[in-house]
Amino acid sequence: MGIFDLISTFIILVPVIVIVVLFVVKRGKYKNRSNAGAFFFENGCLVLNTGIPYPIPFEDIGHVELSFSPWELENRLSYSLGVKVLKRDGKKKWVYYKGYKTAKLATPYDMEAALKEHAIPCVMVEE
């Protein structure tokens, strides 16, 4: 293998390594992320449990919409859920979640109760 091959391999792998390190560092900041479901609460924020967690302070949240299919929820082990956070400044953050009934906040109804417990308005949208 020549020097050109080594340099081209290094150039290709550097962005991948940087992305993986960023991913691990960002996810490592949160204690409650494992088996949390679509979101979890930490340090006064609603944290959307995506690849790289996305924290939203409670005071910035206008309301949260949970979109799901009641039929899928009742008849399957997994279900699809859309979580849309509408902020007070008019911006929105939307994530898709493939839910399993084994998470801490297993169903949309559990999520709704947790949001209300933290005084965050929640709208359930049945599709």
**What residues does each domain of the chain span?**
1-30, 33-126
d(CA 125, CA 84): 11
* pLDDT by position in tens, the chain (length 127): 678 888 888 888 888 888 888 877 777 777 766 667 788 888 889 998 887 788 999 999 999 999 998 888 888 878 888 999 999 999 999 999 887 766 566 788 888 999 999 999 999 998 8
**Strand (E) or helix (H) holding 63:** strand 61-68
Q: Which residue has the tokens 């849309």?
A: 84
pTM of the model: 0.73
The CATH number that domain 33-126 falls under is 2.30.29.30
| 52 CB-contact burial (10 Å; exposed 0-12 / middle 13-18 / buried 19+) | exposed
Choose among 46, 117, 57, 119: nearest CA to 83: 46
pLDDT of residue 1: 62
